[in-house]
Amino acid sequence: MKDKKEKIKYYDLGPLIMPKSVAIVGASYDADKVGHIILRNYLNAGFSGKLFPVNINAVGDLLGLKVYKTVSDIKQKIDLVVVATPASTVPEIISQCGKAGAGGVVVISSGFAEVGNVDLQKQLIENAKKYKLPVIGPNCLGLVDIKSKTDTMYLPSFKLDKPIIGNVSFISQSGAIGSIVLDLIDHEGFGLAKFISYGNADVVDESDILAYLAEDKETKLIIFYLEGVKDGKRFLETIKKYGLKKPIIIIKAGTTAQGATAAHSHTAALAGNSEVYDAIFKQHGLVQAEDLYDLLYFAKIFEMSPLCIGNKVGIITNGGGAGVLMTDAICKNGLELAQLSDKSKDNLRKVMPGIVNITSPLDIGGDADRIRFKNAIDAVAGDGNVDIIVAIVLFQTPGADSSVVAEIVNAKNKTNKPFIVISIGGNYTLAHRSMLESANIPVYESPMAAARALKALIDFSNAKIQKK
């Protein structure tokens, strides 16, 4: 894919990802088969483009649609072909797609290099390259584009919570990890733009997808589950070009020797040396997460907060112990507790009851109500020594209720500093957390997780500034 001048060419994934017409090869009459499920999902989702079921044993309509025996029989423009037939049939289908001038193909089927069928995989690649056809997969879940209602996932929809539309896009080498993260996105309070599960990466690889999403107007930030790259040099050039254009939050699996072996038998990926990955990710501004939850926790702050290079954290809390834990957490992550200016302290002394000690973290007491929260947050948010605002709201206390939520939303709308909330607890707390997140305020349950997310935001912001 590279020419002599080292300028990388990427596949054009636009038609494939936001298709106006979709053929589904392997659209079975059996309601339990993958191809049938995908077709039905398209119909249920209200996809507004054209749908062409393809089944070599076509014997009549399927779910009210005409069925074609092969892709070649369709004779209309096809943006996306989804293939869910046995592995052995796939290379020939790829050729048919190429001849038919399809925009691209997603191969859901597995049974290629990941189980030792290397020759079959080679043939798939050869046929795709012959027609310069972008092929995603095989051995993948395919893709989701919320806006165009494209969804090639064949998983039972009642088993996953559906993400709402948003501006986070998600790339996953693993289908299962893909489904987990999709299932959790709504719970973490943000929305999805596009999801691409790319499996064995035989033709379209991680670099093509990264480049596409980096240029995609609907994608504000990218989250990425990676086991190993196909073409290291190409990947390096790609992240060099795009690493700081948008935040790319990445979890690299197979960072231990045994994990790398496991990754190889999973997607036939060569996991490579983890120190090398660490170094290049850092150099090019990629944000590394160590855990799936951190992937989501980091995405949340990048999605909801402005960039921020300062590391001084102003903490307001209605629980002393939680203030101590948050202070420990930020210090362990290289951030600092902001010390309030004398002016802020004077102002606070005027409005706080005598029992409140005007210091950092600012513990406003277990009986704090919305007025005390408002006064405290106004003072801390307005203080020039404070770069980041952390409000710890323990909703178990008598004064903390949805009126405090309202004050926090008001205060957040008045500031251009990152503003996060820590709230830890059961059902009553979770209800208030949803309110805050629907107002674009990231809420964390764990002080350590929140501090790691803040650190990630600051590191990316600094890298971006330095590059300018």
Between residue 393 and residue 422, which ones bind its own copies under the rule CB under 8 A? 394-398
> Shortest Cβ distance from residue 74 to its own copies (Å)?
29
293 in contact with its own copies (CB under 8 A)? yes
Q: Report the residue number, 213 or 289, with the smaller CB distance to its own copies.
A: 289
Among 292, 307, 351, 409, binds its own copies (CB under 8 A): 292
Three-state DSSP state, 263? helix
> Shortest Cβ distance from residue 387 to its own copies (Å)?
15
Pairing status of strand 142-145 against strand 150-151: antiparallel
> Shortest Cβ distance from residue 246 to its own copies (Å)?
23
Between CA 375 and CA 104 the distance in angstroms is 57
Q: Which of residues 253-272 bind its own copies (CB under 8 A)?
A: 253-259, 262-263, 265-267
Q: Report the residue number, 63 or 262, with the smaller CB distance to its own copies.
A: 262
Q: Report the residue number, 265 or 466, with the smaller CB distance to its own copies.
A: 265
Q: Which of residues 429-448 bind its own copies (CB under 8 A)?
A: 429, 445-448
Among 21, 96, 150, 174, binds its own copies (CB under 8 A): 174
Per the DSSP assignment, residues forming a β-bridge with 54 are 25, 68
Q: Report the residue number, 292 or 351, with the smaller CB distance to its own copies.
A: 292
> Shortest Cβ distance from residue 255 to its own copies (Å)?
5
> Shortest Cβ distance from residue 172 to its own copies (Å)?
7
**Pick from 423, 414, 462, 460: nearest CA to 443:** 423
Q: Report the residue number, 56 or 115, with the smaller CB distance to its own copies.
A: 115
**Pick from 220, 213, 249: nearest CA to 17:** 213
328 in contact with its own copies (CB under 8 A)? yes
Q: Which of residues 8-67 bind its own copies (CB under 8 A)?
A: none
> Shortest Cβ distance from residue 184 to its own copies (Å)?
6
Q: Report the residue number, 105 or 356, with the smaller CB distance to its own copies.
A: 356
Between CA 392 and CA 174 the distance in angstroms is 36
109 in contact with its own copies (CB under 8 A)? no
Binding map of its own copies across residues 343-372, x = CB under 8 A, - = no contact: ------------x-x-xxx-x--x------
Q: At what angle do helices 402-414 and 427-438 cross, to 10 degrees?
A: 30
291 in contact with its own copies (CB under 8 A)? yes
Among 48, 416, 426, 468, binds its own copies (CB under 8 A): 426
The window from 5-13, 64-72, 318-326, 376-384 that contacts its own copies (CB under 8 A) reads 318-326
166 in contact with its own copies (CB under 8 A)? no
The window from 39-47, 57-65, 183-191, 455-463 that contacts its own copies (CB under 8 A) reads 183-191
> Is 293 within 8 Å of 301 (Cβ atoms)?
no
Among 61, 343, 428, 465, binds its own copies (CB under 8 A): 428
Token pair for residue 138? 């095989």
Torsional sign, CA 411, 334, 423, 350: negative
Torsional sign, CA 302, 305, 306, 310: negative
Three-state DSSP state, 289? strand
What are the DSSP E strand ranges found in 91-147? 105-107, 135-136, 142-145
Binding map of its own copies across residues 206-245, x = CB under 8 A, - = no contact: -------------------x-x------------------
User: Is residue 468 classed exposed, middle or buried when 0-12, 13-18 and 19+ CB atoms within 10 A define those classes?
Assistant: exposed
Between CA 435 and CA 191 the distance in angstroms is 15
Number of residues lying near its own copies (CB under 8 A):
79
What are the DSSP E strand ranges found in 280-334? 287-289, 312-317
Bin 26: left if φ > 0, else alpha if -120 < ψ < 50, else beta.
left
The window from 21-29, 75-83, 172-180, 241-249 that contacts its own copies (CB under 8 A) reads 172-180
The window from 125-133, 173-181, 276-284, 372-380 that contacts its own copies (CB under 8 A) reads 173-181
Neighbours of 31 (CB within 10 A): 9
**Pick from 412, 402, 423, 406: nearest CA to 380:** 412
Contacts of 89 (CB under 8 A, 6+ apart): none
